[in-house]
Amino acid sequence: MFDAVLLLMLFLLAIAILAGLYRAIKGPSMADRVIALDLISIMMIALIGVVSLYLETEAFLEAILLLGILAFIGAVAFAKYIERGVIIERKRDD
């Protein structure tokens, strides 16, 4: 029974990732695309967690942590780009 629930969760998470991918491609604004990419990354974290439960292994937990860190850094970089138009500010000494 638990395996059936995990498989159902995998299916629903895959549908949520596809919906986020659609929003990332067709989003009317840049902010919608950034939120969709953040949604995709969170759903990927959940998907890896469910796969880890299904396979009864702890091997994927490092991948979850790494993906979470990358998703946070990406969200901050996109927010800075939307706000200022540049990600890395370089000050030149002339």
Question: Each residue of 22-43: pLDDT tens digit?
Answer: 999 998 888 888 899 999 999 9
Residues in the chain: 94
pTM: 0.82
Determine the structural domain holding residue 56 and report its residue range.
1-84
Residue (of 90, 77, 66, 93) closest to 30 by Cα position: 77
Convert the pLDDT of each residue in 67-92 to its tens digit. Answer: 999 999 998 888 888 887 776 777 77
Q: For residue 91, what is the enclosing H or E element?
A: none
> Does 39 reside within a domain?
yes
DSSP 57: -
DSSP 8-state secondary structure symbol assigned to residue 92: -
> Is residue 90 in a domain?
no
Please check whether residue 23 lies inside any domain of the structure. yes
What's residue 80's pLDDT?
A: 84
Domain count, the chain: 1
